Every structure is written in structure tokens, then in C-alpha cells.
Structure 1
Amino acid sequence: MSRNSRRPDAPTTPALYAMVQTGLEPVAADEITRDLGGQVKKIARGIVVFKLNEITPDVIKLRTTEDVFLLCWGSNSLSYRPTDLDNFRKWTANRPDWNQYFRIHHAIRPKTKGKPTFHLVCQMQGEHAYKRYDAKDALVAGLGGKIPAGWQPADQNAWLEIWLTIRGKTAVCGLRLSDRTMRHRKYKEDHVLASLRPTVAAAMVRLAGPSPGMTLLDPMCGAGTILAETIELSRQRRAGRIEVLGGDNDPNAMFVTSQNLENVGPAHLARWDARRLPLATASVDRIVSNPPFGKQLASLDEVGPLYAAAAAEWNRVLRPGGRAVFLVMEQEALSGPLTANGWKATRQLRVRVLGQPAVLSVWQKPDEPATMPGT
């Protein structure tokens, strides 16, 4: 029996939803479908709703999602009026089978020593005729008698968390299965300025599609997050090693990268200038990078020359037919030199990084033209 098959007489599992960085919903949906065999039911801004025939600990091994929840209830037709509060209470009290939900949670997150702890979270965006604390009070009222006696409320590191998230006319209530390590990762002990979010790095690596035996390069590796996510992807698939190369011109970044990768896996690291890479021509299969944004440099005028010089090196070291994935704010400054080398943009996703709009783009380098006989 496959991991996602189910006996005809088995109880129906509840739906789940993943919280995702805005713009990465299609990538997360692809991971849920391909890696978990899930069925994506709905995609909204920052949320992917899906179903699994069997909910196992694999669900909290997703790399492109910030958090995963059991879906208790959801609505996309809030009135913005106080009548919403009564609905929050009724939906919380009546819609979920809380005993079933708690059993699933306990199987994914076994209880540690001591009394069980719980925490209720309410997040709200938009203008409503009620406050966030009013919505949380409605959630508390709906949970009356549902949480077992003896469980202790806790503000930090609670074993069980129930979230109510309100965005405009949409509200969703969920029982959290993941913890903070899903979005922050255990390996990331050190950071550099504007360090890339691990879930974004994981999405970039998935879009690059490295296969066993390939070589992947991050020429401006910062804290090494892209390198770490490549190694983790290779380990999860257990299909063979991906060779990982990374470097940066900042000695502190190289130190941070080496520290973060210490418990992840092997990578070839070097301090270098990304405009003059010490690599052989056509020696890498994939390039994945988050080059410095204009806001990280002394002047926006520096971005164009930097990207142009780096693009010349990327073109030199990437094999014909190779693929590259970049995350930048100044997309025009990047696309100009890449298209000048004949590269084609195959996909673009608009995301937000550090609160700023950015573009995640996938590029294909053309194959070498066929050599004509007699030339």
C-alpha cells in the first residue's frame, strides 16, 4: 500500500492548509502534490489548502512552507461587522471534530514531559468593525469545553497552538502541526544582513530542479541558505549527491556559511569576487542566487554594473542548456545582460522580501548551436 493510499473504511482525514510567503503559493502547491501526493483544493494569497489520504510526520518536512495546520474552518465571505464574531464562536464550537484533531496533532507532535500546554493566536489585517482581541475572545468562547482540563496556557513554546487568521473578508482557523523550525530551520544558527529566508531559498532550489550528479553554484552565497537547502533536498530524495559550490567576497559571510553548513553536509566554499569566478568554463549545471539588492548597496547606480559583470561570468561557467534562478528587486537590471547573452526567462514570480517587492525568475541558457559539417 502506498504512503498516501487509504482503506475504503478508513475515516476521512481533515483538510490542511499551509502558510506560504506571498508569491510562492504555486511552488508550495507543487511540493505538496509531488512530494506528499496531496490534492491541492484551493490557493489564496499566502495559503494553500490541501488534502492527504493519510496525515503523517512527512507533512512537517515540507521545505517551501512557513507553517502547516489542520483546517478547523474557513470563510471568504466575512461581513466586516460584529456579526462575524458570533460566527467565529459557532464555527469553532461546531465544525471541527476536536477529539480527532487532537489525536492527529498528538501523533505528529508527541507530548514532552510535564503538563500539556496550549496557546491561542489571533492575527488580523484590514479594517473591521471589531478589534483583534474581540476576535480572540470569540475563539476562546468557541473552544469552551474543548481543551481538556489540566492543560496549561503558555505564551511561548506551547505544545498545542490554535490560530485564527483574518485577512480582509477571509478568515481561517487551524490547529498548528508545525513549529518554528519549519520556517527558521535548525541549521541556521548565524545570519548576515538581509539573509535569505529558508523557505524562499528552498523554493528557488526546487525551481532550479537540480538532479543527482549535477553541480549547483551560488556565486553570492551570503549566509549559505541556498547551499543548505540544496543539500537538504538532495538528502531527502536519497537519489544521489548534488555537488554544491558557493562563495562570497565578504569574509564574514564565508564564516557564517561554514558555521551554518557544519551540521548540514559538504559543500565547496571559497572567498571570491563573483565577477571573476575561479571556475572552469561550462563547469556548473545550475546557478541559484540572491544577488545584492539596490537597498543593500551604497547606491542604485552600482546595481547595473554589478549585475552586468556577474552575468558575464554566469554565462561563462553555466553549461549550455543549464538553468539559473535569481531573486532580485531590480529585475530590469538583471534581465538586460542575461537576454543579451541569449538567455530566456521561463518563469517569473512576484514575491516580497524584507517587506519589499521582488522578482524570482527562472532562466534557461540556450544549447550550443549545432556544428555544421566542414566548419
Structure 2
Amino acid sequence: MSSPRDEAVEPGSDTVGPSTSSSSQSDATGGSIISVTIGATVPTGFEHTAAEEVKEKIGVDARISKDRGRIYFPITTDKLYQVHLLRSVDNLFVVVEEYDHYQFKESKEETLTELQQLASKLPWTDTLEVWKLNRTLKKKKGHRKGGNAAKVKPNSDASDAVAADAEQHELPQVSSTAEDQTTVESVPDLETCEQDSQEAAPEAKVIKFRVTCNRAGDKHSFSSNEAARDFGGAVQEFFQWKADMTKFDIEVLLNIHNEEVVIGIALTEESLHRRNISHFGPTTLRSTLCYGMLRLCKPQESDIILDPMCGTGAIPLEGAIEFNSSFYIAGDNNDMAVNRTVNNICHFQKRRADKGSPSGLPIDTVRWDLCSLPIRTSSVDIIITDMPFGKRMGSKKKNWDLYPSCLREMARVCRPSSGKAVLLTQDKKCFSKAISRMGGLWRKLHTVWVNVGGLHAGVYLLKRTAAVSILPLLIHAEGIFPKQEKYSTGSCHD
């Protein structure tokens, strides 16, 4: 009996072999194309947003998992590169097999024995071919460094520690760096990849792997460590691969949520949520969460979009990349935050320029007092920002004064009737009270509940009403940016 270890993966192969290469080019020659299911982890609360993006960009319907923060969708290998262009997903993996109602044994020993036996029964061949093809779509990054990789899925509320070995209790998670993600835009020539593979063949090595288990549910008789250890041992025996916790070539995923079991192979090496940011702050938002917030407000061409508390600039930077027909103004009252934003913008532009792509971005950066913005009244279409939670930044006590003040100022600069705001905060009580004190300036349209670093937060979509503020309206004739004493810019366009 031929097994996947004989035909699917050649030890040490960094790229697609001849058989996969001909298969991936078979559209014109009439060969077969592999159809697989792709799984993706997304920010919890934005599963529907991610499903909408998949439908819009790939043209297939995505299924939302019972386990929050995951979606699944079908794809053929000729369109595999498109999954790396999705902006709403953190990590990607190809599904080997999934069970909606897996019946676990009552005893731990029987369950772990069953997981060991399962490893040799799974249909590995197609998914390993997809894994090899996927490697041709990314720049070779060399081996991972365990200290730089992200930890396990941050949006898993009830997951045990990830494990791939009894001695390994906390492991880095696979995903894709910003450099990896941007190289997908131009798919490398498969013939070149094939030549690289042939040159590397004489120095073929044994494939290195690890198993990561994400488990949620309170009716299991085993831990994540035990499941990953026993399942990983069976995978090692079946394929004759070598286990390596940090410098692995393949990461096998064992996702267990109550009775739902999904086995997959990771397609990303570092989380895609880190794609834009090089200078991090204490509360930097994930780029994938920023994208979800931006889609919620549906930016239109020529909209002026304001982030009055920009921090490291994650929101306006993501917007300028994906919704580049709008203009973004990023500001903060902290010099260090403004500098981080400018550095992130310039770093991203330099990276683009090095790749030969247009580097200009429609962003200006300003230092200001967010309760007295140097912006003309009713001149902003959308306000989108991450408000201080009162945890790492500010305090709950200060929020009671800050929230009403900044909401009034946001209402002043936002266009009546048509203007919108998308605001993220974990201080829900203070925010609701502040909205009620606005005299009808803002109306709540929708709320998305998300997990931000383990905190249950709300993304509030607000609409600016036609009501007139009772505060004096500071009308300036100078334009969007009137003259002021304290004004520093981080403009980085061509």
C-alpha cells in the first residue's frame, strides 16, 4: 500500500516538485486541479465580515465555525494565491479532515489511543500537495526563530495551552509576515521554483514538523498537551518525519471544540495581523481587526477619514492600503505615538519602493489635543479609532471625563446626517453613559463584540444625526488644517 510519505512529500523539498508543478499549470493542458477546504482564523466577532470578504474576492461561500474565530471555504489550487490576499484573516490552514460530531471515548487512555490510530487513516495526500504548492507562493524565509513567532490564537477564549510535546508547554504559532504577504501579489515563476527544488535535491533532509492542539470544551478527559503529544507521535511514526518545536517545516493543527474536530496543515508562518506594523506600541491593534472596523463603516471614494487617537497608526495605515480612494488623517496627543505612526508609514512605503511598487499613501499625521481638534466643523466623513480602555492606557476614572469631551468634539467635526463613527472600547459602561449625554448627536446603529487581548470589547458603529451641538462651533476658514502653534506633520506621500 502506498502511503502519503512515499508520494506526497519529499524530504527537504522547499518548493513544488514536478508532479505538483504540472498539476498547478494544468488549466491549459487539461490536467486535474485539486479542490480543498481552507480554514482561517479571524478576529472573534468579525467572522461574518471575513465571510463577506471571501465571497467578494474569491467568489465562494464561507462557513462560520461553531468555534468562534474560524471560517472555512472551498478553493481550487489554481486560486490558492488568492487566500493570501485576504485582509481579514490572521492565519490560514488547509483542512485534512473535519468531524462535526466526533464521539470521544470516556476514558483518557481510549481517547488518546484512538487519536493515535486516526493519524494513519487521514487523507493526507492532497493537503500535502497543497502545502508544497503554497510554499512556491511565498518568499523563502529560512527557518523560524522561536522567540519571534506569535503565540497561539489570541482569540480563543477557552483554549488550553498549545503543545506538540510533553516537554513543550507554550509554543509559537504559525502565520505569515508582512513581507511574506506582500510577495504573494506577484506569484513567482513555477519553472524557477522547480529549478530551485532540483538544485536543492542533493542536500535533501528529513521533513521537520510539530503538532499544535487548540482545545475548547469542558467535557474532554484529556488535555491539549496530551492530545498533541500522542497524535504527534503517531504522525511521526507514519511519515518518519522528525519532531522539532521551533525550526519545523510543517505544522499539523489539531483543533478540538467540544465535539467538532478539525485536522489541518498550516499555510502561514507568522500571523497576517502583523503585516503593516514595524514600530509597536503598548496597545497596537491587529491589522485584521482594523480591517474589520474599516469594512464596518464602508469607506467611499474621496471620504475624509479621521483617527484622533491613532497610537501606532494601525487603523489609518490599513485603510490607506486597502481603501486607498479615501484620505486619512491620523493624530494623537502623545509625541511618541505620533513618531511611531510616522515611522510605520515610512517603513511600509520604503518596503513598497524596494519592491518597485508605488509608495505613496493618502495619510497625514498630526500631533493635537483630541478634545480640541484643529479641524474645520462638519468636514470629516468617518471617524474610526481605538479609544483608551483604562487598562494599559489611561484609567477608568479619567474615561468619565475624556469620553464625553472627545465624543462632542468628534460630533463637531463629523458631517451631520451622513457622518459615521466606528469606535472600539472595553469600557462599555462609561461609553454608554457618555453617548446618553450627547443630546442626540450620535445614534447607535450596530455593535460587534470582539476579543482584544483577552478583553471583551465592543466595536460601536454610530451615525451622526442632524442635531446641532450646544457647544460653540469653531469654524475655521483655513481648510481642514487651520493654523495653530503646536502642529507637527508626518506626511509621507510622493
- Any idea what SS the aligned residue of 2:310 has? coil
The structure having more radius of gyration, on CA atoms, is 2
- Contact 2:384–2:422 (Cα < 8 Å) also in 1: yes
| 2:283 is aligned with 1:194 | yes
Distance 2:213 2:368 in 1: 46
Tell me the residue number matched to 1:301.
Answer: 397
Percent of paired sites with the same residue: 25
Tell me the residue number matched to 1:139.
Answer: 231
| 2:424 is aligned with 1:327 | yes
Aligned residues: 355
RMSD, aligned CA: 2.8
- Any idea what SS the aligned residue of 2:277 has? coil
Tell me the residue number matched to 1:16.
Answer: 38
- Contact 1:219–1:246 (Cα < 8 Å) also in 2: yes
Distance 2:116 2:382 in 1: 51
- Structure with greater strand share of residues: 1
Which of the residues 102, 121, 135 maps onto 1:94?
121
List gaps (5 residues or longer) in structure 1: 1-5, 235-239, 370-375
Tell me the residue number matched to 1:36.
Answer: 58
CA 1:157–1:207: 2 relative to 1, 3 Å: farther
Which of the residues 108, 112, 120 maps onto 1:85?
112
Q: Which moved more, 1:6-15 or 1:314-323?
A: 6-15
| 2:71 is aligned with 1:48 | yes
CA 1:337–1:136: 2 relative to 1, 3 Å: closer
Q: Which moved more, 1:156-165 or 1:275-284?
A: 156-165
Tell me the residue number matched to 2:296.
Answer: 207
Tell me the residue number matched to 1:365.
Answer: 464
Tell me the residue number matched to 2:448.
Answer: 349
Distance 1:269 1:204 in 2: 20
Normalising by structure 2, what TM-score? 0.66
- Any idea what SS the aligned residue of 1:316 has? helix
Tell me the residue number matched to 2:182.
Answer: none
| 2:129 is aligned with 1:103 | yes
Which of the residues 54, 58, 82 maps onto 2:82?
58
- Any idea what SS the aligned residue of 2:71 has? strand
Distance 2:399 2:210 in 1: 45
Tell me the residue number matched to 2:152.
Answer: none
Distance 2:273 2:332 in 1: 24
Q: Residue 120 of structure 1: CA displacement?
A: 2.4
Q: Residue 72 of structure 1: CA displacement?
A: 1.4
- Contact 1:37–1:52 (Cα < 8 Å) also in 2: no
AA of the residue aligned to 1:37: G
- Any idea what SS the aligned residue of 1:155 has? coil
Tell me the residue number matched to 1:251.
Answer: 335
- Contact 2:403–2:431 (Cα < 8 Å) also in 1: yes
Q: How far does the alpha carbon of each residue in 1:28-87 deviate from its partner, in whole angstroms, 9 at most, with x for none?
A: 222222222221133321211222345421202222221111111223434363343344
- Contact 1:231–1:242 (Cα < 8 Å) also in 2: yes
Q: Which moved more, 1:252-261 or 1:117-126?
A: 117-126
Q: Which moved more, 1:25-34 or 1:156-165?
A: 156-165
AA of the residue aligned to 1:316: R
- Contact 1:73–1:91 (Cα < 8 Å) also in 2: no
Q: Which moved more, 1:138-147 or 1:353-362?
A: 138-147
- Any idea what SS the aligned residue of 2:36 has? coil
AA of the residue aligned to 2:451: R
Tell me the residue number matched to 2:251.
Answer: 161
Tell me the residue number matched to 2:214.
Answer: 123
Q: How far does the alpha carbon of each residue in 1:319-347 deviate from its partner, in whole angstroms, 9 at most, with x for none?
A: 23122111101224324444533422221
CA 1:65–1:56: 2 relative to 1, 3 Å: same
Distance 2:463 2:31 in 1: 48
List gaps (5 residues or longer) in structure 2: 1-26, 143-199, 350-360, 469-494
Q: Which moved more, 1:110-119 or 1:337-346?
A: 110-119
CA 1:46–1:80: 2 relative to 1, 3 Å: farther
- Contact 2:385–2:424 (Cα < 8 Å) also in 1: yes
